[in-house]
Amino acid sequence: MKISQKDLWAGFLLMFLAFIGLWINGGFLGLGLEQHTLGTARRMGPGYMPMLVLWLQMALGALVFVLGLRGGPDDLEDWKKLDFVTLAVAIAVGILIWRVMEATGYNTNYIQVGAACLIGLLLLAISPAWRPLGMVLGSFAVFGLLLEPLGLMVSIVALCLIASLADREHRPLGVAGMCVFLCALCWFVFIYELDIRVPVWPGSF
C-alpha cells in the first residue's frame, strides 16, 4: 500500500489543532478550559461557531489522513531537512509562546492560542512544502485575532489576502472578488439574518 507521508502529517496536524481548540472551547467530551454556551443555530452562543468549525476541521483532518494512506508518493513526497526543521520549530515556538503568555497572566485564551498558532504557522510556511497549509491555517488565526478589535469586514479581507499567499500564482483580481463576495455573504448570513453580535467595522462596538 502506497502512503503519502505529507498527507498523513497534514491530516494529523489538522486533527491535533482541532483537538486543542475543542479542549479549550469545552466542546470535546464535555471537557475543556472554558465551558462556552453553545446556544442554537438561530441564537448562537459564544461557543457554537468555534465548536462547529473545529469539528469540521477534525473531520477534514481525518479525511486527509485516511486519503494519505492510499495517496501514494509523488514528487513532493521526499522530506527535506527544511521540512523537518520548520515543523519542529513551529510546534516548539507555538507551545512556548502559548505558555509564556499564560505564565504572564494574560487571561484571554483565544489571544494566547491565536498568537501562538499564527507565529507557529508562519514559521511552518517557510518551507515550500508546508507553505499552503501554514498560510491557510494562519489566515484563520489572523481572522480570530482581528475580529474583535477591527471587525468582521477587515478580518475577512485579511483572511483572504493571507490565504491567497498559499498559491504563488494567485490572481489579485480573483482575490479581490473573493473578498467582496465573502464580506457580502457573511454580512447577510451572520449579521442580517442570524443577528450575530460581532463588530462589523473597527470601533462599531
What mean pLDDT, rounded, does the chain reach?
81
Average pLDDT over residues 154-164: 94
Q: Is residue 130 part of a domain?
A: no
pLDDT one-digit tens code per residue, 123-146:
999 998 889 889 998 999 999 899
Q: What is the pLDDT of residue 158?
A: 95
Q: How far is CA 105 from CA 98, 99, 112, in A?
A: 11, 10, 10
Q: How many domains does the chain have?
A: 1
Domain presence at residue 63: yes
Please give the C-alpha separations between residue 15 and each of 55, 94, 109, 136, 201, in angstroms, as whole numbers.
9, 16, 20, 15, 32
Q: Mean per-residue pLDDT for 53-67?
A: 88
* Stated pTM of the model: 0.67
pLDDT tens across 4-54, in order?
A: 777 888 888 888 888 887 777 764 555 545 555 666 666 666 667 777 888
Could you tell me if residue 137 is inside a domain?
no
User: Does some domain include residue 67?
Assistant: yes
Q: Is residue 28 part of a domain?
A: yes
| 82, part of any domain | no
Average pLDDT over residues 170-182: 91
- Residue 103 located in a structural domain: no
pLDDT at residue 32, rounded to an integer? 47
For residue 5, the enclosing domain spans 1-71
114 within a domain of the structure (yes/no): no
